Structure 1
Amino acid sequence: MSWTDYYKRRDALDSVLVRAQRDPAGPLPRSDAFSGPAELLLALHYRWTLKLTGALGVALSSDQDPVDAVSAAWRRTATDNPTLHAVLSTHAARYPELRPMVDAEKRTLALAAGLAEPHEPVDEITRVGTAFEALLRTAASPAAGSPVEQLIRRLVASS
């Protein structure tokens, strides 16, 4: 990819996110920079991954409990990038091309939070990450975490 292509794709992603602010669940706009909506969503997910992994790296460098650090990083990334998060949340399930990246994100969350170990089966790590992400999406209080999130922290601490 040339620099011209890079900037064309970056500008197209920025434009999609500006238009999606009105209706993140609406139809994805067409762009000459991408072959179709799946490729556009893959590029948007890559952008999300860069933001999330950066936030995770910073959060995990503190003395904070890993579950709390990962929770705070995920919530902060979602709060700082609401349209990006909403577009991916509403469209990802419709495009099987995104499944490997979404599953990898869930595994990253589970491993970073210490809820799974790298030697465990990939399917199990993905299941743990799926459950953890569901908790992150539905937690009532970002500061205290949900009761289920608190239970997970206690279970991890006792193992």
Structure 2
Amino acid sequence: MSWNDHYRRRDAIDAVLRRAKRDPAGPLPRTGVFASDRELVLALQHKWSLILGGHLRVRLCETDGDELDAVTRAWRAASAAQPTLRAVLDAHLDRFPETAPMREAELRMLAQAAGLSEPGDSAEQVTKVGLALESLLLGASSKAHAGCAVRRLVLPNA
């Protein structure tokens, strides 16, 4: 990707988020840069991962040993800094199963950073822990995420 492509994509994402501020759960705005809603949602998820990762690194460096508190504060700070992005992802992410690997990696990152997993835990176990943590951070019940693609992968009977 050239720098021109990078800036076009960045500007398109910013425009989508400005328009989505009115109705994050509404149809995704067309950009002319992304070929499909799937590509746009993947780009939005990537943006969120970068923002969350930055907040995690800062909070974990500042922690006095309470990693769970640091992760909670990081997630909440990232959500407060990007409320529209978080709302758009919450509304649209589950429509695209292609996002599952990115989501699972994010959930594992949360669980591991919070100190809620052990080195010998399987990826599936760590993903489950991350999903539970994210559900608590979102303040949502498990029923609210019953249709979640990641939830179906982790808990097939859910």
TM-score, with normalisation over the residues of structure 2? 0.85
5+ long unaligned stretches in structure 1: 140-159
Q: Whose radius of gyration is greater, 1 or 2?
A: 1
Provide the residue aligned with 1:56 in structure 2. Answer: 56
Shift of 1:4: 1.1
Supply the distance in 1 between the matched residues of 2:42 and 2:94 (Cα, whole angstroms): 12
Supply the distance in 2 between the matched residues of 1:7 and 1:19 (Cα, whole angstroms): 18
Supply the distance in 1 between the matched residues of 2:92 and 2:18 (Cα, whole angstroms): 16
Supply the distance in 2 between the matched residues of 1:60 and 1:6 (Cα, whole angstroms): 29
What are the residue-to-residue correspondences of 1:1-159 with 2, within 5 Å? Answer: 1-62=1-62, 63-138=64-139
Provide the residue aligned with 1:149 in structure 2. Answer: none
Structure 1's consecutive aligned runs of 4 or more residues displaced over 4 angstroms after TM superposition are none
* SS of corresponding position for 1:107: helix
Q: Pairwise CA RMSD of aligned residues?
A: 1.1
Identity of aligned residues (%): 54
1:75-114 residue CA offsets vs partner (Å, 9 max, x unmatched): 1100110000000011001111111111111110000000
Shift of 1:64: 4.5
Aligned length: 139
Supply the distance in 2 between the matched residues of 1:89 and 1:104 (Cα, whole angstroms): 16
Supply the distance in 2 between the matched residues of 1:66 and 1:14 (Cα, whole angstroms): 32
Amino acid at match of 1:14: D
5+ long unaligned stretches in structure 2: 141-158
TM-score, with normalisation over the residues of structure 1? 0.84
1:113-132 residue CA offsets vs partner (Å, 9 max, x unmatched): 00012431000000000001
Over 3 Å counting, the alpha-carbon distance change for 1:118 and 1:35 in structure 2 is farther
